[in-house]
């Protein structure tokens, strides 16, 4: 027998837990895509999405995952051979840079060691050296989901301004939107991308690009974009089908409506605070366990840690043993290590979206039980430390 029977908890950093209301919203027959309720409902999604992204500018919806949004964002602002500067703090930053290169951009990379973000001073110095202002875009993950590193996008903008450089600032918010505070316009981000299956609590399959007028102007010289990826008709559709370049993703849209209702009822500030406090409890547990044995948080500086995902190092093979035990014995699925060298010593806890205190305490309790059951050396009192953090404030 195992103790895993009951509602499972998918504590991986995407796809995230789907609320019952989101699942229920998809239980319906196919709607008419030519006229009526679906059209009216779709029009209500965009203002809510823009509010969550902190922008008053443009938004386009795609039927695609995050990898699709990497391409969508780049294709609408770049011409073949343009220089792009990628700030990389993990596997996903590398992925976006590789995508830009494959599309035909000339990509240069400034990389951190994965325990924190790229120092904005390095960005400023790099841009100052580009006297001809050839670099068209700076791309960075707001949160890199592999390392759990959060990049201060406002500090990146400040570095670009200090260098007097006109490049666009583009942020991958796929892991962070709806979890970590993000204020696109206030922070001077020109393009932001996200996808449905993380903080937005909706099945994978919808992608979103937010862009301001500077980015919209860059579209005029973009020469690689194909009709499907062009953001112009999607952001300013004359006909409904132009939102999606074809058939609407009907049930995903109803699911997204339900998820945006949940966020609206809670309030985005409260959503951000909830994620911050749950993350703080997780860090307290890991720090306690790490007082003996090998467990460590991947990101030392609290201010550079994501509130959506936590990356933790252990040893190989203990990280894999622990994940397997938590899944089969406790019903909690933890995330694998990603892009670490070697990947075997790492695991991740996803705490994005529809997650509350008892779920986080449950996941931490399962991990602590696993550490005991597998005789993995660790400090005592991780769950108690987390409970104390949640009780405080």
Ligand X SMILES: *Cc1c(COP(=O)(O)O)cnc(C)c1O
Give the C-alpha separation, 385 to 288, whole Å. 7
The nearer residue to ligand X, 232 or 354, going by C-beta atoms, is: 354
Half-sphere exposure of 362 (CA within 13 A, CB side): 21
Burial 246-257 (b: 16+ CB within 10 A, else e): eebbbbbbbbbb
**Strand ranges of the sheet holding 346-350, from the earlier edge strand across to the other edge:** 9-11, 332-336, 346-350, 309-313, 296-297
Q: Closer CB to ligand X, residue 139 or residue 263?
A: 139
Contact residues for ligand X, defined by CB under 6 A: 14, 65-67, 92, 141, 143-145, 172, 174-175, 195, 204
Closest to 364 (Cα-Cα) out of 334, 344, 340: 334
- Compute the distance between CA of residue 367 and CA of residue 312 in angstroms, rounded to an integer: 12
For ligand X, the closer of residues 105 and 139 by Cβ is 139
Cβ-based nearer residue to ligand X, 148 or 362: 148
Closest CA to 172 of 145, 212, 205: 145
Of 12 and 367, CB closest to ligand X: 12
β 83-88/135-141 pair status: parallel
**334, 368 in Cβ contact below 8 A?**
no
By beta-carbon proximity to ligand X, the closer residue of 204 and 233 is 204
Comparison of 54 and 93: residue with beta carbon closer to ligand X? 93
Asked whether residue 219 is marked as a ligand-binding residue, the answer is: no
Q: How is residue 202 written in tokens?
A: 């909706």
- Cα separation, 173 vs 207, in Å, equals 11
Q: How far is the CB of 375 from ligand X (least distance, A)?
A: 33
For ligand X, give the closer residue by CB, 323 or 348. Answer: 348
Cβ 90 to ligand X, closest distance in Å? 8
- Owner of token pair 């992608």: 207
CB 176, min distance to ligand X, A: 7
- At how many degrees (to 10) do helices 357-373 and 318-325 cross? 120
Q: Which residues contact 228 (CB under 8 A, 6 or more apart)?
A: 245
Can you tell me which residue has the tokens 């190989």?
Answer: 316
CA distances, 177 to each of 74, 96, 228, 231, 261 (Å): 19, 17, 24, 20, 15
Residue closest to ligand X when measured from CB atoms: 66
The least CB distance from residue 310 to ligand X, in Å, is: 13
* Residue 193 near residue 137 (C-beta atoms within 8 A): no
Using alpha carbons only, what angle is made at residue 151 by residues 121 and 390, rounded to the nearest 5 degrees? 135
Rounded least distance, CB 144 to ligand X, Å: 6
**Closest distance of CB 315 from ligand X, Å:** 25
- CB 143, min distance to ligand X, A: 6
Q: How far is the CB of 64 from ligand X (least distance, A)?
A: 8
Annotated binding-site residues read 348
Annotated binding-site residues for substrate read 348
């Amino acid at each position: 027998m195992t103790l895993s029977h009951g509602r499972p908890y998918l504590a991986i950093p995407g796809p995230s837990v789907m609320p019952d209301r989101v699942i229920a919203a998809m239980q319906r027959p196919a709607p008419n895509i030519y006229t009526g309720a679906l059209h009216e409902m779709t029009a209500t999604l965009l203002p809510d999405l823009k509010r969550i992204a902190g922008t008053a500018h443009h938004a386009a919806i795609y039927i695609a995952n995050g990898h699709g949004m990497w391409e969508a964002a780049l294709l609408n602002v770049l011409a073949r051979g343009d220089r792009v500067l990628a700030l990389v703090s993990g596997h996903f930053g590398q992925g976006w840079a590789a995508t830009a290169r494959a599309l035909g951009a000339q990509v240069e990379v400034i990389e951190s060691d994965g325990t924190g973000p790229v120092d904005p001073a390095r960005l400023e110095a790099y841009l100052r050296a580009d006297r001809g202002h050839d670099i068209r875009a700076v791309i960075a993950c707001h949160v890199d989901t592999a390392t759990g590193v959060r990049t201060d996008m406002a500090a990146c903008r400040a570095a670009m301004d200090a260098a007097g450089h006109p490049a666009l600032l583009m942020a991958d918010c796929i892991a962070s939107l709806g979890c970590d505070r993000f204020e696109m316009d206030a922070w001077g981000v020109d393009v932001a991308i996200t996808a449905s299956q993380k903080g937005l609590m909706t099945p994978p399959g919808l992608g979103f690009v937010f862009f301001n007028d500077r980015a919209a102007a860059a579209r005029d010289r973009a020469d690689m974009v194909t009709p499907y990826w062009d953001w112009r008709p999607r952001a300013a559709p004359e006909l409904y089908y132009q939102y999606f370049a074809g058939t609407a993703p009907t049930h995903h849209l109803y699911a997204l409506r339900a998820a945006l209702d949940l966020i609206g009822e809670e309030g985005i500030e409260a959503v951000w605070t909830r994620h911050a406090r749950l993350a703080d409890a997780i860090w307290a547990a890991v720090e306690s366990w790490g007082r003996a044995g090998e467990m460590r948080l991947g990101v030392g500086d609290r201010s550079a840690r994501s509130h959506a995902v936590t990356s933790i190092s252990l040893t190989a093979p203990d990280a894999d043993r622990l994940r397997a035990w938590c899944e089969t014995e406790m019903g909690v699925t933890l995330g694998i290590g990603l892009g670490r060298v070697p990947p075997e010593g790492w695991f991740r806890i996803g705490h994005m979206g529809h997650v509350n205190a008892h779920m986080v305490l449950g996941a931490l309790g399962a991990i602590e039980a696993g550490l005991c059951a597998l005789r993995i050396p660790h400090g005592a009192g991780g769950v108690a430390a987390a409970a104390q953090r949640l009780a405080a404030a």
